[in-house]
Structure 1
Amino acid sequence: MATTALGGTPVQTVGELPAVGSTAPAFTLTGSDFSEVTLASGTRTVLNIFPSVDTGVCSASVRKFNELAADLDDTRVVNVSVDLPFAQARFCGAEGIDNAVAASAYKSSFGSDYGVTLVDGKFEALLARAVVVVDRDGTVLHSQLVPEIGTEPDYDAAVSALG
């Protein structure tokens, strides 16, 4: 278990993020159009993981990673939450999110596999705020579980990990 915080109150996750240098777990998520979203080999991937697009900090991180994705060569940004694909499609359409992929973990083991499902607190069963950067060969280049869910991730560190 790892610890983050929600409003200053410690909350636990189901496990630990994949360590830098390890192989990222494979996953199958549901895209906002209900297509499968998987960890594609041969492409660098930034996983922006968060509780819900319907919170201010989460929506800010999706907008920021969408902006950053426009300038990242050979890199796919995947925004992951347990929001239903309908909500993700609504948000992305309203916000003009077109450089990043929205993917739902609502019927996936992603949260357990990546150690980010919250096991207590008022956001229990949602995903913690985290970022995982994966290289073309599936190697984890960067992982960050934010210390406070109400804060944005370290965007610079994520982009720097891509080289």
Structure 2
Amino acid sequence: MSHRTVNFKGNPVPLEGPELKPGDTAPNFRLQQNAADGLGDATLDDFAGKTLLISVVPSLDTSVCAQQTRTFNQKAAQLPDNVAVLTVSMDLPFAQARFCGTEHIDRIKVLSDHRTADFGRAYGLLIAEGPLQRILARAVFVVGPDRKIKYVEYVPEITQEPNYDAALAAVA
């Protein structure tokens, strides 16, 4: 049983994995993505030398997650070229691609942890028990080019949006 929790509509749900903090080294990951030539993997190494803003959502097909993804997609246009914005969820890559096409998400990479949930465990976001089992909690991470975490927000209530301004300020 986990000792860390977040709330879903005021009710605590347990999280699996460590609570990461600024200064920690970002765990590596292998996430799946839908690409023109089929499914492919994306790892932390693929973004070497870049600052990453990693937006994590429970499911793109919910209003708050959709809004979070649209907001970061819009803000990505104002960020320098050395910043990559990722959205990570447990949604299947095909569902992510459908969402991105419908919502005109074209400035960020949308990646899936559905295969192994290793990202969720490594970043302390996996909801492993109860009715929300096997989804990711809402969070935002900023990782510097040195792979050190510069900013972390584990959003305490899953149904609320993150602090966009603080995350974007950490990218600068």
TM-score, length-scaled by structure 2:
0.91
Match of 2:21 in 1: 19
RMSD of aligned alpha carbons:
1.1
Cα displacement (A) at 1:86? 0.5
Q: For 2:139, which of 121, 130, 134 is the aligned residue?
A: 130
Helix, strand or coil at the partner of 1:86: helix
Helix, strand or coil at the partner of 1:153: coil
Match of 2:43 in 1: 38
Cα displacement (A) at 1:2? 2.2
After superposition, the C-alpha distances for 1:22-49 in whole angstroms (9 at most, x for unaligned) are 1100111011222221212200101101
Structure 2 portions without partners, runs of 5+: none
Alpha-carbon distance between aligned partners in 1 of 2:59 and 2:85, rounded to the nearest angstrom: 16
Q: For 1:93, which of 81, 98, 101 is the aligned residue?
A: 101
Q: Is the 8 A contact 1:50 1:58 kept in 2?
A: yes
Helix, strand or coil at the partner of 2:107: coil
Alpha-carbon distance between aligned partners in 2 of 1:70 and 1:122, rounded to the nearest angstrom: 37
Helix, strand or coil at the partner of 1:32: strand
After superposition, the C-alpha distances for 1:35-91 in whole angstroms (9 at most, x for unaligned) are 221212200101101110011100100000101111111111110001000000000
Helix, strand or coil at the partner of 2:86: strand
Q: Which portions of structure 1, spanning 4 or more consecutive aligned residues, are displaced by more than 6 angstroms? A: none
Aligned pairs, how many? Answer: 163
Structure 1 portions without partners, runs of 5+: none
Identity %: 42
Q: Is the 8 A contact 1:51 1:81 kept in 2?
A: yes
Alpha-carbon distance between aligned partners in 1 of 2:18 and 2:140, rounded to the nearest angstrom: 12
Q: Is the 8 A contact 1:53 1:91 kept in 2?
A: yes
Q: For 1:58, which of 61, 65, 89 is the aligned residue?
A: 65
Q: Is the 8 A contact 2:17 2:120 kept in 1?
A: no
Match of 2:86 in 1: 78
1:155 aligns with 2:164: yes
Structure 1 or 2: more strand by fraction: 2
Q: Is the 8 A contact 1:81 1:126 kept in 2?
A: yes
1:7 aligns with 2:9: yes
